[in-house]
Amino acid sequence: MYKNKRIFGLITARAGSKRLKNKNTLSLLGKPLFYYTVNEALKSKYLDRVYLSTNDNKIIKKIKNSSKVKLIKREKKFCTDKTKTEEVILNFIKKYKNKFDIIFLLQPTSPLRKNFDIDNSIKKMLDNGSKAIISVSKDFKNIKDSIVIKKNFFYKKSKHKDIKKSYTVNGAIYAAENKFFMERKTFITRKTLIYFMPKSRSIDIDTEKDFLLANKFLK
């Protein structure tokens, strides 16, 4: 808890990824990919509870007896290729909204994110009186996903002419007040504060190349 705000971490780990098969359970230096996110989330000083939403039987078997991580067996209607993460989050908030104030999304595909990134972003968001925060890095491999920042807040999606001012949303940090997210159905608006991360902790695993790069950095 920070500043009397109850904060729940939600790890989303659906089975059935297409580009990199079974990526959430792939072995990364001897541990399944999702382990790194769970481990850092549990080290956080400010996350009051950590939930893991999945339909992956391998993950369910490993988490079901955990006293520290609350397992959510995801409903089939939220397990299709067309299901958006926002739908899963909205369902979670509606179910637990009276028990917490801030939702913190943690994707297993960001294994280099550290517990201090989680805590520092929460602190930055609440110290600034912001409604939401996301993380970015200075990496232009996906220019189509880049954004322009103005006065430390998200300003707009980037165009090629904005390249020098652009940052890439790295997928590691997403947090918002429950009411704000339920109204906007997104973390990213002009009221969203920015948390900056170095490239060395910003790998978002989507392909085999990303996976190998994460392995390199972890070593």
For the stretch 121-173, pLDDT in tens is 999 999 999 999 999 998 655 566 788 889 999 988 876 655 666 789 999 99
Q: Which two tokens stand for residue 121?
A: 């972003």
Q: Which pLDDT belongs to residue 22?
A: 85
H helices present in 112-207, as ranges: 115-127, 178-184
Whole-angstrom distance between the N-terminal and C-terminal Cα of the chain? 33
Tell me what the mean pLDDT of segment 19-47 comes to.
93
Closest by Cα among 119, 102, 126 to 182: 102
Domain 7-218: assigned CATH number: 3.90.550.10
Among positive and negative, which fits the CA dihedral 104, 107, 110, 111?
Answer: positive
- What is the domain partition of the chain in residue ranges? 7-218
Chain mean pLDDT for the chain: 90
Q: Are the beta carbons of 174 and 214 closer than 8 angstroms?
A: no
The pLDDT of residue 207 is above 80: yes
For the ranges 73-77, 109-113, 121-125, 211-215, the lowest mean pLDDT is seen at 73-77
Q: Are the beta carbons of 121 and 133 closer than 8 angstroms?
A: yes
- With H, G, I as helix, E, B as strand and everything else as coil, classify residue 212: helix
Number of Cβ within 10 Å of residue 97's Cβ equals: 13
Tell me what the mean pLDDT of segment 70-75 comes to.
90
Q: Which two tokens stand for residue 141?
A: 């491999």
Q: What percent of the chain has pLDDT over 70?
A: 94
Q: Which pLDDT belongs to residue 162?
A: 59
DSSP per-residue letters across 61-113: HHHTT-SSEEEEE--GGG-STT--HHHHHHHHHHHHTTT-SEEEEE-TT-TT-
Q: Which two tokens stand for residue 31?
A: 């541990």
Number of Cβ within 10 Å of residue 195's Cβ equals: 22
Model pTM greater than 0.85? yes
The pLDDT of residue 81 is above 80: no
Q: How many CA atoms lie within 13 A of 129 on its CB side?
A: 0
Tell me what the mean pLDDT of segment 75-84 comes to.
76
